[in-house]
Amino acid sequence: MKIGIVCYPTFGGSGVVATELGMALADKGHEVHFITYNQPVRLDFISHRLHFHEVVLEEYPLFEYQPYELALSSKMVEIVQKYQLEVLHVHYAIPHAYAAYMAKKMLLDKGINVKVVTTLHGTDITLVGSHPTYKTAVEFSINKSDEVTAVSQSLKDDTLRLFNIEKDIKVVYNFIDGQKYAKAQNDECKRSALAQEHERILTHISNFRPVKRTDDVIKIFHKVQKKIPSKLLMVGDGPERLKAENLVKELKLEDKVLFMGNSNEVAKILCYTDVFLLPSKTESFGLAALEAMAAGTAVISTNSGGLPEVNIDGVTGFLSDVGDVEDMAKNAVHILKSDAVLNEFKMNAKEHTRLFSLDTILPQYESIYKKCYTVIV
């Protein structure tokens, strides 16, 4: 099929999922066109079936805010026509689902019936989308999509609770390409570059937004390192990074915490990791946790949103209430204190990711594309 993918091109989870999906679809023989304002960070041009079309914004003195939705919907119309795309798959409802609806209407005027699939990712529903500023337009564009998916049952439930939804929402979980992680494990995994032989390694990866509670990551680690010799890797960047760095100084942890910035080498970093920390306030799924588990890492997380669908309490890691750093530290110490316990959790974590393999999830998206394309309006 010929598929247009619209997403945020950044390190956020929705952009990562969209990009990995697009690359996998192209690998399977589909023609995939990314339409966004920058080349997605995880996009490597591995196949001639992958294209990227930049949405360019024109400066004009009258615009305090540039009308991105307008530029995006015009670009969608142009690309659908030029490459005869059959489906537009938009990731993150704001403003992509709304722009896609506009593009669909403009194309219908020209006798072209492109189908719109909207994937809800999390904060587009739970934090931003349900805010009165956006709610009406988000609800409208979800209801006008041909197909709607959510990345967890919890996000589906939240969507039905927060909006007046007339469409059926299908749960299609986030996925991982297990082979990529297997490869990183086999490639030289130089743990000694980051920690001494007797030290454990804990890792946090996020975009350092307030919802990730990066201060809790530092507080948990502060407690853990008093009992277990260890290092903490903080991967990513965002608004809370400075605050987290200051807390590290305040707690005199500078020689034990390494801030690594954004990275495209997540699989390599995770190969060093023993325990992954994700104490988020809310998390529709927790792709970062799934990636960590695929690399054979136990997960200490909160029990919010879709995290219990990914991290199984007492099996792949532990779940605690939001803000309960004491409990999260206690659980981390329990996992880290013996090699036998740690190895069991690591093995369970890796095993559990089979449910979320690319081979399982990709056909679910393909059948959604096919289904909406064969429905006659």
Q: % helix / strand / coil in the chain, to the nearest 5?
A: 45, 20, 35
Cα separation, 115 vs 113, in Å, equals 6
Question: Which among 115, 83, 81 is positioned nearest to 97, based on CA atoms?
Answer: 115
Q: Which is nearer to ligand GMT, 199 or 237 (CB)?
A: 237
Amino acid at the residue 276: F
Instruction: Output the smallest distance, CB 174 to ligand GMT, in A.
Output: 5
Q: Which is nearer to ligand GMT, 73 or 304 (CB)?
A: 304
At residue 25, φ and ψ (nearest 5 deg) are -65, -40
Q: Which is nearer to ligand GMT, 229 or 323 (CB)?
A: 323
Cα separation, 63 vs 104, in Å, equals 26
Cα separation, 53 vs 32, in Å, equals 11
Q: Which is nearer to ligand GMT, 185 or 262 (CB)?
A: 262
Helix or strand (DSSP H, E) at 318: strand 317-320
Peptide bond into 95 cis (omega under 30): yes
Q: Where does this chain bind ligand GMT (CB under 6 A)?
A: 12-15, 17, 92, 121-123, 151, 174, 206-207, 211, 282-287
Beta carbons within 8 Å of 176's beta carbon, 6+ residues apart? 290, 291, 294, 353, 356, 357, 358
Instruction: Output the smallest distance, CB 310 to ligand GMT, in A.
Output: 9
Instruction: Output the smallest distance, CB 77 to ligand GMT, in A.
Output: 25
Name the DSSP class of 211.
G
Instruction: Output the smallest distance, CB 368 to ligand GMT, in A.
Output: 16
Q: Which is nearer to ligand GMT, 274 or 283 (CB)?
A: 283
Instruction: Output the smallest distance, CB 210 to ligand GMT, in A.
Output: 10
Number of residues in the chain: 377
Task: For residue 201, list its beta bridge partners.
Answer: 231
Instruction: Output the smallest distance, CB 95 to ligand GMT, in A.
Output: 13
Q: Which is nearer to ligand GMT, 36 or 174 (CB)?
A: 174
Beta carbons within 8 Å of 7's beta carbon, 6+ residues apart? 14, 15, 18, 19, 34, 36, 40, 90, 91, 92, 96
Instruction: Output the smallest distance, CB 260 to ligand GMT, in A.
Output: 16
Is 370 in contact with 362 (CB distance < 8 Å)?
Answer: no
Instruction: Output the smallest distance, CB 212 to ligand GMT, in A.
Output: 7
CB-neighbour burial class of residue 128 (10 A; exposed 0-12, middle 13-18, buried 19+):
middle
Q: Which is nearer to ligand GMT, 18 or 271 (CB)?
A: 18
Q: Which is nearer to ligand GMT, 123 or 273 (CB)?
A: 123
